[in-house]
Amino acid sequence: MGVLNVTPDSFSDGGQFLDTEKAVEHGLRMAADGAAIIDVGGESTRPGSEPVSSDQQIGRVAPVIKALCAKTDTPISIDTHRFDVARAALDAGAAMINDITALSDERMGELAAERQVPVILMHIQGTPETMQIEPKYDDVVSEVLDFLLSRANRAERLGIAPERIFIDPGVGFGKTLEHNLLLLRNIGRFVSTGYRVLVGTSRKSFIGKLTAKEKPADRIFGTAATVALCAAAGVSIVRVHDVAEMMDVLKVANAVGSALFNRGGSCLT
């Protein structure tokens, strides 16, 4: 899954693709590089970010989604927790909902069920504005997993088929460095639930702490390590900024992993 932030303030590429033409060009480049999904978002969810109105989000993402759908068959995902933004994005041609609040607004689940589109349910502690203010857990892996299973079960009750449900532990969303590492070390517990798993580690600050790389764009090799490990663990989707490079990582990781672990499937990009 390629990341396409149509925002002025995202942590890694804020402002680079706020212009519709540049955003579409970047989306098409990611598709050509091998992205299986393009995830379009109009609101930054970096730590400390403030909310953006639905109208403003729609104004940013709808033209990009329409243009991409006219030029590529690569499915488009909308990264939002707002019902009206998700509805406008689906109307524009998006085919997937990526919700960092895991359908906290039940209308999102009803919309996904009605349109028969997949959903990504992510865990977050707090909000983007507050999530990194001393996040605390007694058992981060169990608590995150229990939350996601609860939300996945609710999604099914709302009419979303299990095969259309993805769970995301929310690396970096209300987690310390140690929390993130524990989640990644135990990602197999999420895979073993039977729901497909998405993991987003690309360029994140915990990688910067481990590698002493201050600039997000310099964290590509650290990101590659997490992508390879997630592929080996059976994760279905990795959400990344650097599609071409991570495609190479996945091609090798999947080839070696299938031989080592005799896995039946492979990690999507």
CATH code, domain carrying 31: 3.20.20.20
Q: How confident is the model at residue 267 (pLDDT cuts 50, 70, 90)?
A: very low
Residue 20 within a domain = yes
Tell whether the model's pLDDT for residue 9 goes beyond 70. Answer: no
Residue 108 within a domain = yes
Residue 266 within a domain = no
Q: What angle do CA 4, 78, 143 make, to 5 degrees?
A: 100
Helix then strand then coil, in percent of the chain rounded to 5, is 50, 10, 40
Placement of tokens 């689940």 in the chain = 109
Residue 268 within a domain = no
Question: Structurally, how many domains does the chain consist of?
Answer: 1
Residue 96 within a domain = yes
Residue 57 within a domain = yes
Residue 30 within a domain = yes
Q: What angle do CA 1, 49, 103 make, to 5 degrees?
A: 55
Query: What amino acid positions are annotated as catalytic residues?
Result: 204, 239
Domain that holds residue 231: 2-261
Predicted model pTM: 0.91
Give the E-state strand segments of the chain in sequence order: 2-5, 38-41, 76-79, 96-99, 119-122, 165-168, 196-199, 237-238
At residue 15, the pLDDT reads 56
Q: How far is CA 67 from CA 20, 28, 73, 79, 227, in A?
A: 9, 10, 11, 17, 29
Tell whether the model's pLDDT for residue 256 goes beyond 60. Answer: yes
Residue 165 within a domain = yes
Mean pLDDT (the chain, rounded): 91
At residue 19, the pLDDT reads 87
**Rounded Cα gap, residues 169 and 241, in angstroms:** 18
